[in-house]
């Protein structure tokens, strides 16, 4: 299964199915809960984190790599041009229909050629799909370095890249669930923090970082609870086998984050200065 086909295997189950158990923003990535937050409040905080990281209120353009159903694009100020990349036809159709002012492209970052630099780049939940099973650490670092190099070249001199990705923590790929590897995210391999930093070395400077491992456990538990509450509707939409697959995936993910087998990094990168400053 190719990378694009693997993405569609997971994300093109149907927008109506995901709408049953995601929050109103259709945000399918780790939230940032605080206190007694609802899922929607926690997702809004996460979206604001990434928008603030690239100073979206001050720049003239933002590229969203792996734009999902367009939550970031929808929250850009009217003066800011938004471009979203996705490999999911279902997601792209939703963005085009719901947010007509945004530009969405069914295109990989490896093929994209912008006609101008961006003030900021945001990528939430796409990075973990870049590497392939069987690639050596050096090959994975090469893929990630290509991504960081392109982002550097696409950014304005004072721009920033806000990246959110799942990563291996105290577990190697060889110990990962075959179910997750084959039925949920086929043809994908998670990064390690060492691989990410090695790939960025000399290309982009790490400005800040945070591990939201327990936040993602909470998010998966919220999704699982919401899916259980609307299980009959979900089965009517996609059938019992698909629902069972997603229930199992959300449960295993929550356990993996709780146990520290996998983690969630939010990293902000900036281009290195091109000249000395006093």
> pTM here?
0.91
In 111-141, which positions are buried (b, 16+ CB within 10 angstroms) versus exposed (e)?
Answer: eeeeeeebbbbbbbbbbbbbbeeeeeeeebb
Please tell me the predicted confidence (pLDDT) of residue 5.
47
pLDDT means per 10 residues in the chain (278 residues)?
A: 45 81 96 97 98 98 97 95 94 92 95 96 96 93 98 97 96 73 76 97 96 98 98 96 94 95 97 70
Please tell me the predicted confidence (pLDDT) of residue 184.
67
Please tell me the predicted confidence (pLDDT) of residue 180.
66
Radius of gyration of the chain (CA): 18
Sequence-ordered list of residues with C-beta below 8 angstroms from that of 266, at least 6 positions apart, any chain: 49, 50, 162, 163, 164, 209, 210, 212
Please tell me the predicted confidence (pLDDT) of residue 133.
86
**CA 249, CA 175: separation in Å to the nearest integer?**
16
Please tell me the predicted confidence (pLDDT) of residue 273.
87
Look at the chain and count its residues. Answer: 278
Please tell me the predicted confidence (pLDDT) of residue 39.
98
Domain 3-18+43-213+266-271 has CATH 3.40.50.150: yes
């Amino acid at each position: 299964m190719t990378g694009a086909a693997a993405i569609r295997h997971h994300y093109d189950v149907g927008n109506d199915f995901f709408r049953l158990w995601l929050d109103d923003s259709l945000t399918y990535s780790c939230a940032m809960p605080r206190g007694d937050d609802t899922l929607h409040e926690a997702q809004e905080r996460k979206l604001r984190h990434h928008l603030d990281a690239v100073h979206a209120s001050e720049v003239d353009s933002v590229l969203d790599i792996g734009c999902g159903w367009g939550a970031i694009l929808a929250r850009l100020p009217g003066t800011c041009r938004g471009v979203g990349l996705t490999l999911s036809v279902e997601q792209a159709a939703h963005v085009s229909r719901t947010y007509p002012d945004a530009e969405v492209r069914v295109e990989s970052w490896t093929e994209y050629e912008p006609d101008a630099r961006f003030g900021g780049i945001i990528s939430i939940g796409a990075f973990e799909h870049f590497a392939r099973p069987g690639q050596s650490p050096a090959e994975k670092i090469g893929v990630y370095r290509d991504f960081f190099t392109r982002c550097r070249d696409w950014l304005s001199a004072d721009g920033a890249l806000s990246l959110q990705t799942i990563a291996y923590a105290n577990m190697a790929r060889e110990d990962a669930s075959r179910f997750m590897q084959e039925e949920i995210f086929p043809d994908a391999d998670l990064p390690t923090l060492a691989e990410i930093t090695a790939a960025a070395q000399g290309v982009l400077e790490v400005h800040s970082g945070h591990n939201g491992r327990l936040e993602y456990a909470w998010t998966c538990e919220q999704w699982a609870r919401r899916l259980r509450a609307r299980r009959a509707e979900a089965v009517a939409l996609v059938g019992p086998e698909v629902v069972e697959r997603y229930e199992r995936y959300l449960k295993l993910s929550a356990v993996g984050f709780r146990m520290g087998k996998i983690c969630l990094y939010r990293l902000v990168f900036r281009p290195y200065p091109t000249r000395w400053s006093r």
